[in-house]
Amino acid sequence: MRPFARTPTDRFDAPRARQGGVWLVLANLGHLLGGKAAAGVISLVYLVLVTHRLGAADYGVLVLVNAYAVLIGSLLAFSGFHGVVRYGGIALEGNDPAGFARIVRFMAVVELGCGAVAIVVAAIVAPLVGPRLGWSADTIRIATIYSLAVIATVRATPQGLLQIAGRFDLIGMHQAVSPLIRLVGALGVWIAGGGLIGFLTVWLVAAVAEGLAMWGFGLVAWRRLAQGERLRGPWRDAARQTEGFTRFILITNFDITVRELAPNLAPLTVGWLLGPAAAGLLALTQRATALLAQPTVLLSQASYAVLAGQVARGERAALRHTVWRSAGLALAVAVPIMLVLAVLGDRLLTIFGGSSFAGGTMLLVLVAAARTAGLASAPLAAGLTALGLPERSMAVGLVTSLGLYPLLPVLLWVGGVDGAGWHALLQNMIAILALAAMFLRDARAPAAVSA
């Protein structure tokens, strides 16, 4: 399914293009959840191996090293996802494969260049922050090399290609790449009697493979969409020749950076103030609620291409229907899961992590509630971006991620590690209310879209 371009090469996709937006979102989400479900089962196995072998403190160090690399990557890397989907799709809609190829090349060059800078910065800064986060000298040495894990965050451009091509099956398959490598590696470390350094090595290999695999999958979509255009070719004039392109990609990238800042910064803040054991407990509660967290990202991915296609075709009423129904379905699925997690509480944490993780029931409930609100807000943010108004979502992200961040140390000081849960819940509740109000207003405006 190609939501934008309807050329002779994809007439077979026309029946699906005429389906309701909600059904297209659900079909896309089904492909993504299939891969994520397999990845989730695999993750549970290696999670039990790692947490029982390392305990809360060393598992916290593993989490902090990985969170550090991901944070630097999300801050400095450049996401080409929305620019490729929106403007690449518009170029295909206008039967302009050369323009499409130029946009994709431009985003790939920018993303790869920023990713390289992020790797260098992460390697330089690691020895400076490591001691404050409780890392040993050996951990700091491998954390410097672990900066290569930034590669896992440099994959937005090929993911955008897969979105336009409708290859959500490949995106779903990609979800299992890192967990499979982690499982095989964790089993090897377990059998060999290894510890923290061994698991860090496995996590690094999995991160690099995750990034490279997405670029490989992106080539499949490129061959279908580019209509004979070469991989290497003109790209420098993409921003100048595409009206509104520069502003759009800067805003959407900043929005993504801000939105990813809070979840990546929280464990580092907890580790900095309360130590690795507290960071390990927070990480385990986040993993236990991943059933709610991952669909937030996946629902945004599954819905954005559909919503952008509806906007491109001027189907404003269908857009509103798709967004509100998607948000409602997300809540209907998330609330029962949240209640189950609340009832099981400590039992889940001790099963997954062992006795050193006991006592985190309240944190688990708070994180689950925050995840639920975040899941319902994903279609609203995607709808605003599809309308060509990414600054709305960016403003909400600024307030919730940066504006509310100073409250996190205060809440940690008052309530211990539970303060991180209260902070996450406050962020997501404010976000969903603000996004809902903005979408309710902007989706009815007669001229909200700008090319």
The model's pLDDT over 55-83, given as tens digits with 9 standing for 90+, comes to 888 999 999 999 999 999 888 888 777 77
Which of these, 158, 147, 205, lies nearest to 180 by C-alpha position? 205
| Token pair recorded at residue 90 | 């518009």
The model's pLDDT over 215-237, given as tens digits with 9 standing for 90+, comes to 999 888 888 887 777 777 767 77
Q: Are 149 and 69 in contact (CB under 8 A)?
A: yes
pTM above threshold 0.85: no
Reported as a pLDDT band with limits 50, 70 and 90, residue 7 is: very low
Helix ranges (H only) for 275-406 are 276-288, 290-312, 316-344, 346-353, 361-386, 390-397
Q: Pick the residue with more confidence: 241 or 52? A: 52
Return the pLDDT at 381: 82
Parse the chain into domains and list their residue ranges.
19-442
CA distances from 158 to 163, 217, 226, 256 (A): 9, 7, 13, 16
CA distance 194 to 58: 13
The model's pLDDT over 192-214, given as tens digits with 9 standing for 90+, comes to 988 999 999 999 999 999 999 99
The model's pLDDT over 281-337, given as tens digits with 9 standing for 90+, comes to 898 888 877 766 555 555 555 556 677 667 767 777 777 877 787 777 777 777 887
Of 28-42, 251-265, 319-333, 336-350, the one with minimum mean pLDDT is 28-42
The model's pLDDT over 26-40, given as tens digits with 9 standing for 90+, comes to 555 555 555 556 666
Which of these, 348, 344, 255, lies nearest to 51 by C-alpha position? 348
CA distances from 121 to 66, 73, 144, 305 (A): 15, 9, 10, 33
Could you tell me how far CA 113 lies from the centroid of its own chain? 20
Q: Are 85 and 160 in contact (CB under 8 A)?
A: yes
Return the pLDDT at 321: 78
